[in-house]
Amino acid sequence: MCGIAGIFHPDRAPVDRERLQRMINVLVHRGPDGEGLWINTTDTGAIGLAHRRLSILDLTEAARQPMHYRSRYVLTFNGEIYNYIELRKELEKKGHRFETESDTEVIPAAYAQYGSRCVEYFDGMFAFALWDREERILFCARDRFGEKPFYYHYEPGRELIFASEMKALFAGGIDRGISHDMLYRYLAFDVVEDPLHPERTFYGAVKSLPAAHSLTLMPGGEMKIKRYWSVNEKGASFSGSEEEAIECFTSLFRNSVARRLRSDVPVGSSLSGGLDSSSVVAAVRASLSAAGKASLQTTFSARFDDPALDEGPYMKMMESHFGLRAFYTCPGSRSLRSELDRIFYHQEEPFGSASILAQWEVMKLARDKEVTVLLDGQGADEILGGYHKYFEAFLRELWINDRSAYLREAEALASRHDFRLRRGLRWWLNIYLPSGLKYMRHVAGRLRKAEWQKVFHPDFLAGITREEPPFRSFQTLNDTLKYDVTSYGLGKLLRFSDRNAMAFSREVRLPFLSHELADFVFTLPPRMKIREGWTKYLLRKAMEEELPRAITWRVDKKGFAPPQKKWLEDPELQRMIADARELLLREKYIRTQGHISDWQLLMAFKLLRCEFPKS
């Protein structure tokens, strides 16, 4: 886990070493263990690559970056390739030789063997830039789910500048002017990313390379951006029994955990008390035992003083069941007050709620206890149907295909979750007339436009490219889950997680986001994800012999949900919100607060006032 930055000039203008140094300096939190810069000028362009290192695998100097391979390839890389051992063996059979024990070295070797298709062989989280000195090609890529960030600014024929975080681009002289389109979408729809345009950020001059995409800069400056993976893109369907599905899922999950335990520094786990993180802890125990490495597991958790939100009893249950070395943090309104500016500095863009503080404090605690790597349960809800918002799509699919199953599951969801489906006009249009649903959205957007004209200032609206609300609904559960995994939902949570961890030089690994596991889960029918009112049914069945029953078959879902409403009643936070409201009114973004929440006001204020490094 590291920080990367780079500058490429197709016009052969020299790369300014001091500029590149300023960029990488602001990423020291991502890599406190070492630094490297490399600059080269040829007759087809000038390239500079920089790296800040967080040592995880092969702690020797041999694994430092930018890494040179076969005198032809130069790499700067952020992330982990979990299957590097297996991949290295395959590459050695094809004649490749390695000088380190790091996962980094398999990237240029795989590129030498497979070209741009090398990313298809990686099980990992990654963002990297690789320079081919012979072909004069710069090849960059980001992992399938978007766990690792890659931001860039491109002036065709003149310059590509990229980095792990936007603040490094600002330090390199890129303008940090706010995108009014993105600010409008945030205030109007409460979305922190644009699913219709995943490359957009809240800063007009900065783009994000979308997850599962590669970027190639050819000699002369032509840029090519290409998607290289989509979950279950072949549309395969699983035809085996439930027992076979559980067996396959369990095998893939345990293999994913085992790979993500590979480390030369201490490894622990985040533990919320819910099913997902508890499953990871159980799988870690099984993997260590199978490898003859049974040892005391370390976990980190956030608790709250509100009994309705605190998951302490479940955490204690896990601590007792597995004999964990457990550490706890208890964030509150005082923490939010004191840490908010720092959190926004690292996040760089608005985030959805104060729940981010819980994860922030967990990462701080892991740093204080000197545990560098944490496994986490993120991603299970999105691939296995863990949120209540999925119930409607699930029932819609059953209505279309199996009315008797629909009646059974509707009753079970009502009984177990007090969920009552409202089959209004939108429901029927989605099933029988999707084009009508699209027209309904258009009409609703026109009606909302009149409302928004009362809320937003005309000067602000004049520069906005207004589009339909960035929300979609689908006829099937799998399509709904796929949208959350690939378009809007999971990506923002991964951004929050990466920045929180990296602020304290920690690495978060997510076993549920093995692409092999996800591809398999997306072949399964909806009844293996939601059944008899149980969410994540397959995971519950796979773990029922491993976990306490009270956790395996929990109905409620909390996660790190904080008492945000109570926190925001804090007098100092109320003053911040009042200042935010005054600023947006004074600078003619809004005419009245209207439907905009206090939290949105606060985030907009931080966006407009956050101080980042300047060139």
Nearest one of 513, 512, 502 to 372, comparing CA atoms: 502
Amino acid occupying residue 99 = E
Under the banding of pLDDT at 50, 70 and 90, the label for residue 440 is low
Same structural domain, 262 and 197: no
Give pLDDT, residue 264: 96
Under the banding of pLDDT at 50, 70 and 90, the label for residue 497 is very high
Same structural domain, 205 and 178: yes
Give me the mean pLDDT over the 198-219 stretch. Answer: 97
**Residue 442 within a domain:** no
Give pLDDT, residue 540: 98
Give pLDDT, residue 558: 64
**Residue 443 within a domain:** no
Same structural domain, 187 and 295: no
CATH number assigned to the domain comprising residue 380:
3.40.50.620
**Residue 97 within a domain:** yes
Give me the mean pLDDT over the 47-66 stretch. Answer: 96
Helices (H) and strands (E) in the chain, counts: 24, 17
Whether residue 447 has pLDDT greater than 60: no
Which residue range is the domain that position 573 belongs to? 568-609
Give pLDDT, residue 493: 97
Same structural domain, 273 and 206: no
pLDDT, tens digit (0-9, with 9 covering 90-100), for 143-158: 999 999 999 999 998 9
Same structural domain, 77 and 167: yes
**Partners of 225 in the beta sheet?**
215
* φ, ψ at 560 (rounded to 5°): -95, 50
Same structural domain, 154 and 270: no
Under the banding of pLDDT at 50, 70 and 90, the label for residue 444 is low
Instruction: Tell which wins on pLDDT, 450 or 534.
Output: 534
The number of domains in the chain is: 3
**Residue 340 within a domain:** no
Report the half-sphere exposure of 296 (CA within 13 A, side-chain side): 8
Whether residue 21 has pLDDT greater than 70: yes
Beta-carbon contacts of 328 under 8 Å, excluding residues fewer than 6 positions away, are 300, 301, 302, 303, 312, 315, 365
Same structural domain, 184 and 37: yes
Q: What is the SS3 assignment for 519?
A: helix
**Residue 422 within a domain:** no
Beta-carbon contacts of 404 under 8 Å, excluding residues fewer than 6 positions away, are none
Whether residue 467 has pLDDT greater than 70: no
Same structural domain, 60 and 197: yes
Beta-carbon contacts of 527 under 8 Å, excluding residues fewer than 6 positions away, are 405, 537
- Which residue do the tokens 């809320």 mark? 455
- Which residue do the tokens 């600078």 mark? 587
Percent of the chain with pLDDT over 70: 95
Range name among 47-56, 234-243, 556-565, 595-604 with the lowest pLDDT average: 556-565
Same structural domain, 575 and 548: no
Structure letter (DSSP) for residue 37: E
CB 225 within 8 A of CB 496: no
Give me the mean pLDDT over the 133-141 stretch. Answer: 96
Under the banding of pLDDT at 50, 70 and 90, the label for residue 74 is very high
Range name among 180-189, 286-295, 325-334, 558-567 with the lowest pLDDT average: 558-567
- Which residue do the tokens 């990297």 mark? 128
Same structural domain, 212 and 134: yes
Give me the mean pLDDT over the 443-469 stretch. Answer: 78
**Residue 263 within a domain:** yes
Residue 573's alpha-carbon distances to 14, 305, 329, 427, 608, in angstroms, are 48, 19, 21, 40, 17
Whether residue 12 has pLDDT greater than 90: no
The model's pTM: 0.95
Under the banding of pLDDT at 50, 70 and 90, the label for residue 451 is confident
- Mean of the per-residue pLDDT values of the chain: 93
Range name among 333-342, 362-371, 559-568 with the lowest pLDDT average: 559-568
Structure letter (DSSP) for residue 71: T
CB 392 within 8 A of CB 287: no
Same structural domain, 113 and 260: no
Under the banding of pLDDT at 50, 70 and 90, the label for residue 445 is low
CB 13 within 8 A of CB 163: no
Give the separation between CA 17 and CA 393, rounded to whole angstroms. 53
CATH number assigned to the domain comprising residue 14:
3.60.20.10
Same structural domain, 170 and 298: no
Give me the mean pLDDT over the 267-293 stretch. Answer: 93
**Residue 513 within a domain:** yes
pLDDT, tens digit (0-9, with 9 covering 90-100), for 29-38: 999 999 999 9
Nearest one of 85, 84, 81, 112 to 96, comparing CA atoms: 112
**Residue 488 within a domain:** no
Strand order in the sheet with 207-208: 34-42, 45-53, 2-9, 159-163, 151-155, 207-208
